[in-house]
Amino acid sequence: MTKRVVLIGHPVAHSLSGAMQQAAFDHAGIDARYELWDRASIDIPDTVTELRGDEFLGANVTIPHKERVVPLVDRLTDEAHATGAVNTITREGRRLVGHNTDVGGFKVALDELVGRQKMPRHAVVLGAGGGARAVVYGLIREGFQRIIVFNRHLHRAESLVKHFGRSAAHMDLKAMPWHESIIESELAKTKVLVNATSIGLTDDATPVPAEILGADLLVLDLIYSRTRLLQDAAQAGCTVADGGEMLLHQGAAAFTLWTGQPAPLDVMRAALEEAHAKGVVSAEGEGGAAGTGTGETGSSAPA
Ligand code: NDP
């Protein structure tokens, strides 16, 4: 029987994960199909129940449902529990386990960004959604001593900080209002800047003006693309990285969880690059660019 793995999100019409995971299954000789399920919030409980069937290896979960599935699975891993977000589901018999492989994906991306330098201790994070939760948790685990979270809607950044209250008790984790002058003054004291907003995903917008980017900053944009932010930062002399490595490694970890096999990283990277070059964008905040999803079953309604 062909096994099924599904991506649950809205929208999911053109998914880089689809191209990457299907290439990995095919390469490993695993008879499995990666399907894109576009689901409204109201349908999530029934959708998760459906995954308990024998034909499913598991699922990925993306915007906007990562937090919604948390109470619907039977067990959470430490990362999923700590972040309050699930991006991968596996089955143990009829029981479902919620994982968060974004955390491990972010760690690989951060390590590559920092390279041989000493791991910095101060970071500014822009955004307070599911991606930002994985980032902040990853930074706390990495031993960062000061993390400032800016978000358009301050209350969301405040709830993120509150969520991590206990694990961040030993350090300075703060939410601050999104004012250019405050961001500028925080950036002057920091070494790492992470964009975990979707600003720049579908257009040439940037979350911060080029003038406030100092040359010694390490800048990571979770968006898998050469965004305006990354272009400005590179121009200013910063070290920069996009979200490609994070996307690849969260996907590789998910593949291993479903199949018990090591992920064919080179195959997945090549599939990701090929799909990206064709204009397919990540289902992580998908912008509706042209492209061909794999095993698509949902609609392509924009968010
Ligand atoms: P969410 O929808 O949970 O959060 C979106 C974030 O972007 C919020 O902080 C939101 O602020 C902010 N935002 C959106 N539009 C604007 C705007 N016009 N002005 C200011 N802020 C804005 O999404 P995720 O956290 O899951 O994803 C965020 C980004 O990270 C996406 O671009 C996604 O592609 C990327 N990502 C990449 C991953 C990877 O593997 N590379 C993994 C996860 C995410 P507010 O709360 O005020 O609305």
Report the nearest atom of ligand 1 relative to the CA of 126: 9
The pLDDT value given to residue 282: 63
Nearest Cα to Cα of residue 89 among 103, 104, 73, 78: 73
Report the predicted TM-score, pTM, of the whole model to 2 decimal places.
0.92
196 CB near ligand 1 (under 6 Å): yes
Q: What is the pLDDT of residues 159-215, one digit of tens each?
A: 999 999 888 999 999 999 999 999 999 999 999 999 999 999 889 999 999 999 999
Ligand 1 mean position, distance from CA 128 (Å): 7
9 CB near ligand 1 (under 6 Å): no
- What does the alpha-carbon distance between residue 222 and residue 56 come to, in Å, rounded to a whole number? 29
Q: Look at residue 91 and tell me whether its pLDDT is greater than 50.
A: yes
284 CB near ligand 1 (under 6 Å): yes
Q: Look at residue 293 and tell me whether its pLDDT is greater than 70.
A: no
95 CB near ligand 1 (under 6 Å): no
Ligand 1 mean position, distance from CA 25 (Å): 29
Q: What is the pLDDT of residues 20-61, one digit of tens each?
A: 999 999 999 999 999 999 999 999 999 999 999 999 999 999
The pLDDT value given to residue 284: 57
The pLDDT value given to residue 298: 30
Q: Which residues contact 229 (CB under 8 A, 6 or more apart)?
A: 195, 199, 200, 206, 207, 208, 219, 221
Report the nearest atom of ligand 1 relative to the CA of 129: 3
For ligand 1, atom 12, name the residue with the nearest CA: 197
